[in-house]
Structure 1
Amino acid sequence: MGGVSAQERRESVIRAAIAEFAIAGYRGTTTAAIADRVGVKQPYLFRLFPDKKAIFLAALTRSAEDTRLAFERAADGVGGGERAGQVMADAYAQLISTCPETLLMQMQGYVTVAAAEAQGDDVIGEVVRAGWMSIWETVHLSLGADAERTAGFFACGMLGNMLTAIGLPVNAGR
C-alpha cells in the first residue's frame, strides 16, 4: 500500500472490517479475514489499530456515519415534513440495496452490545448508542423536529432493516 496515506490505509481496513463483521459478527470475524480482504498481512492491521475491538468500534462508527450522511444529504435543501421523509427513505433504500453491509454492520453492533455489557464492557454500547443518536437527531431535525413523524420514519426503517437482514427486497413490506 505504498504511496497511500495512513488515513487512506485506515479507511480501507475499516471498509473491509465492515464487510467482514457484517457477515460473521464480532466473535466470528478474525483479523486475518480482514487483512485478507484488504490484501495485507495481519500484523499490518495492528500498526493502524491496537486490536480487533478498535477495528470493530471504527467499523461501527463508520457505518452509523454513512447512514447519517445519507439522510443528511438527501434532506439537504428539501425542507422538513413529508418530502424530507420521502427523500430520506429513498436514500436509505438506495444505501441498503447498494451497501447492505452498512446496515448489517449496525445490526451486528446492536447484537454485540448486550453480550459485551454482560461482561462489563460498556464501550461498544456507548459507540452504538452515540451512532444511533446522531442518526436520530439528523432525521428528527430534517422532519421538522416532529417526534411522531420521526418515530414513524424509524418504524418503517426498521421494517426495511428486517427485510434486508433476512434477504427480502425492501419493497416486500409495501
Structure 2
Amino acid sequence: MGRISAQERRESVIRAAIAEFALKGYHGTSTAAIAERVGVTQPYLFRLFPDKRAIFVAALVRSMEDTRLAFARAADGVEGGERARQVMADAYARLISTRPETLLMQMQGYAAVAAAEAQGDDLIGEVVRAGWMSIWETVHLSLGADADRTASFFACGMLGNTLTAIGLPASAGR
C-alpha cells in the first residue's frame, strides 16, 4: 500500500474537521482533536492548512458544496417543478440522515458569522453568503426559477434543519 498524498491527507483533514466543528463549533474545537481524528501531528496539520480558521473555512466550503451537489445531482434531467422539488427534498433528507455533520457544519458556519464579523473578520461571512447563494441558485433554477416555490422549498428545509439539529426526525414537522 502506497503513501497517502498530501491532497488525500488534506481531504481527510477536511472531513475530520467537519465532524469536529459540527459538534463543537469553531471555538470548542481544537486543532489537536482534528489532528488526532486524522492520525497526524499538529505540525503536519499546519503544513496542510495555515491555521484553524483556514481549516474551518475549508470544512464550511465542503459542507455547503456537498449540499449543493446533492440538490444538483437529484434534479439533473428532471422535468417539472414539483418533481424536481420532491427529488431534491428526498436527496437532502438522505444527506442529513446519513451525514448529519454536513448540516450541522453549515449551522456552525452561520453561527460563526456574527462573531467573526464583530472582530473584523469578514471571510467566514463571505464564504457562508457565497455558499448559500450557490445552493439557492441551484435549487432556484431546478424549480423553474420560481421565487415563491424556491422560498417555500427552503422554508420547509429550514424546519427540517432545525428539527435535525435538536435531535428530532425531520418528519416531526409534517
What's the TM-score bracket when you normalise by the shorter of the two chains?
over 0.9
Please state how far the C-alpha of 1:2 moved relative to its aligned partner. 5.8
Percent identity over the alignment is 86
Gaps of 5+ in 2: none
Q: Distance in 1 between matches of 2:73 and 2:141?
A: 13
1:8-157 correspondence runs (5 A):
8-157=8-157
Aligned length: 174
**Cα distance between partner residues in 1 of 2:16 and 2:98:** 16
CA distance in 2, matches of 1:49, 1:80: 43
Q: Deviations over 1:76-130 (max 9, x none)?
A: 0112400000000000000000000000000000000000001111000000101
Tell me the C-alpha RMSD between the 2 structures.
1.1
Superposed CA offset, 1:115-165 (max 9, x none): 000111100000010110100000000000000000000000000000000
Kindly provide the amino acid, as one letter, of the partner of residue 37 in structure 1.
Answer: R
TM normalised by structure 1 equals 0.98
Tell me the TM-score normalised to structure 2 length: 0.98
Cα distance in 1 for residues equivalent to 2:157 and 2:60: 18
Residues 1:42 and 1:2: Cα distance change in structure 2 (over 3 Å): farther
Q: Give the whole-Å Cα distance in 2 for the aligned partners of 1:134 and 1:94.
A: 20
Other structure's SS at 2:144 match: coil
Query: Following superposition, which runs of at least 4 residues in structure 1 exceed 6 angstroms of deviation?
Result: none
Aligned-partner residue type, residue 88 of structure 1: M
SS in structure 2 at match of 1:50: coil
Counterpart amino acid of residue 152 in structure 2: G
Counterpart CA distance in 2 for 1:10 and 1:132 is 24
One-letter code aligned to 1:123:
L
1:167 alignment partner in structure 2: 167
Deviation, 1:42, is 1.2
1:7 and 2:7 correspond: yes
